[in-house]
Structure 1
Amino acid sequence: MSELFSYRDAELHERQAQHTAREIWQQPRLWRQLHRELADSAAQWQPFLAPLLADPDVQIVLCGAGSSAFAGRAIAPWLREECGLDVAAYSTTDIVASPLQYLDPSRPTLLVSYGRSGNSPESVAAVELADQLLPRCSHLMLTCNPDGALARYAAGRTHVCSLVMPQGSHDQSFAMTSSFSCMTLATALLLGPLALNDSLRPLEQMAELCEQARIAWQPQVKSLANSGFKRMMCLGGSCFTGVAEEGALKMLELTAGRIATRFDSSLGLRHGPKFMIDQHTLVVMMLSAEPYGRRYDLDLWRELRHDGRAQEIVALSGLPGEGFTDLGSELDDIWLLFPYLMFLQMLAFETSLALGMTPDNPCPTGEVNRVVKGVDIYPFSAPLASHKNR
Structure 2
Amino acid sequence: MDASLLPDLPTWQRLGGAYTAEEIAQQPRMWTALAQGLDAAQARIDAFLGEALRQPGQRVIFTGAGSSGFIAEMVADQINAQWPAEVRAIHTTSLLTHPALYLQRDRPTLLVSFGRSGSSPESVAAVDLVRAQVDHARFLDITCNADGELARRGQGRSDTLSLLMPPASCDRAFAMTSSLSSMLLAALSVFDTAPWPQRVQRLHDLAAHADRALQAWDAAVGALAQAAYSRVIYLGSGPLEALAREAALKVLELTGGRVLALANTPLGFRHGPKSTLDNDTLVVMLRSAQPLSRRYEQDLLDELRGDGIAARVISVGPDGDDRSDGDFVSTTPDLADPWLAPLWLLMPQCYALQRSAALGMTPDNPFPDGTVNRVVQGVIIHPHG
With normalisation by structure 1, the TM-score equals 0.94
Taking the aligned partners of 2:48 and 2:241, their CA distance within structure 1 comes to 30
Q: Which residue of 2 aligns with 1:116?
A: 116
Q: For residues 47-88 of structure 1, what are the alpha-carbon distances to aligned partners after superposition, in whole Å with 9 as ceiling and x for unaligned? A: 111222122211111100110000001111222234454211
1:219 offset after TM fit, Å? 1.7
How many angstroms apart in 1 are the aligned matches of 2:78 and 2:309? 33
1:229 and 2:229 are equivalent in the alignment:
yes
Please tell me whether the aligned partners of residues 67 and 246 of structure 2 are also in contact (alpha carbons under 8 angstroms).
yes
- The one-letter amino acid of 2:291's match is P
SS in 1 for 2:62: strand
Partner of 1:331: 334
2:77 matched residue in structure 1: 77
Residue correspondence of structure 1 range 12-91 to structure 2 within 5 A: 12-83=12-83, 85-91=85-91
Q: Counterpart amino acid of 1:293? A: S
For 1:6 and 1:100, the matched residues in 2 are separated by: 47
Given that 2:185 and 2:339 are in contact with CA atoms closer than 8 Å, whether structure 1 keeps it comes out as no
Aligned to 2:132: 132
Secondary structure at the residue paired with 1:377?
Answer: coil
Whole-Å Cα distance in 2 between the matches of residues 25 and 97 of structure 1?
37
1:253-279: CA deviation from partner (whole Å, max 9, x where unpaired): 000001101111111111111111211
Distance in structure 2 (CA, Å) of the matches to 1:356 and 1:143: 32
Contact in 2 for aligned 1:289/1:319 (Cα 8 Å): no
Aligned to 1:384: none
Shift of 1:367: 1.0
1:83–1:192 contact (8 Å) kept in structure 2: no
Give 2:332's aligned amino acid.
Answer: S
Consecutive unaligned residues of structure 2, counting only runs of 5 or more, are none
2:370 is the counterpart of 1:366: yes
Partner of 1:11: 11
**Alignment-derived partner of residue 153 in structure 1:** 153
Q: Deviations over 1:177-234 (max 9, x none)?
A: 0010011000000011222211233322221111011011012101110011110101
For the 8 Å contact 2:30–2:182, the answer to whether it is kept is yes
CA shift for structure 1 position 330:
5.1
Note the residue ranges of structure 1 that are not aligned, 5 or more in a row.
Answer: 382-390
Equivalence for 1:162? 162
Question: Which residue in the other structure is 1:195 paired with?
Answer: 195
Relative to structure 1, the CA distance from residue 240 to residue 2 in structure 2 (aligned partners, 3 Å threshold; closer, same or farther) is closer
Aligned residue runs from structure 1 range 311-330, under 5 A: 311-320=311-320, 321-323=322-324, 324-329=327-332
Structure 1 position 16, deviation (Å): 1.3
- CA–CA separation in structure 1 for the residues paired with 2:37 and 2:5: 28
**Which secondary structure does the structure 2 equivalent of 1:217 belong to?**
helix
Could you say what secondary structure the match of 1:107 adopts? coil
1:212-227 alignment runs, 5 A limit: 212-227=212-227
Q: Is the 8 A contact 1:125 1:377 kept in 2?
A: yes
Q: CA separation in 1, counterparts of 2:186 and 2:135?
A: 27
Shift of 1:4: 5.6
Counterpart of 1:355 in structure 2 is 359
Going from structure 1 to structure 2, the CA distance change for 1:275 and 1:183 (only over 3 Å counts) comes to same
Say if 2:140 and 2:161, in contact at 8 Å, map to a contact too. Answer: yes
Q: 1:343 aligns with which of 321, 335, 347?
A: 347
How far off its partner does 1:306 sit?
1.3
Distance in 1, Cα, partners of 2:156 & 2:202: 36
Q: Distance in 1 between matches of 2:353 and 2:334?
A: 26
Secondary structure of 1:97's counterpart equals: coil
- Cα deviation for residue 325 of structure 1 reads 2.5
Preserved contact between residue 236 and residue 287 of structure 2 (Cα < 8 Å): yes
1: CA distance, partners of 2:96 / 2:6 = 43
CA distance 1:237–1:110, change in 2 (3 Å): same
* Alignment-mate amino acid for residue 353 of structure 1: A
Paired residues of 1:78 and 1:238 also in contact (CA < 8 A): no
* Structure 2 SS opposite 1:110: strand
C-alpha root-mean-square deviation of aligned residues, in Å?
Answer: 1.5
Is the Cα contact below 8 Å between 1:24 and 1:346 reproduced in 2? Answer: yes
Over the matched positions of the two proteins, sequence identity in percent amounts to 40
CA deviation profile, 1:111-141 (whole Å, cap 9, x unmatched): 1001000010011001100001011111100
- Deviation readout 1:322-362 (Å, 9 max, x if unpaired): 41422133532233212111111011111111111100000
The AA in structure 2 aligned to 1:351 is R
Q: Is the 8 A contact 2:105 2:133 kept in 1?
A: yes
Give 1:352's aligned amino acid.
S
Aligned residues: 381
User: TM-score of the superposition, structure 2-length normalised?
Assistant: 0.95
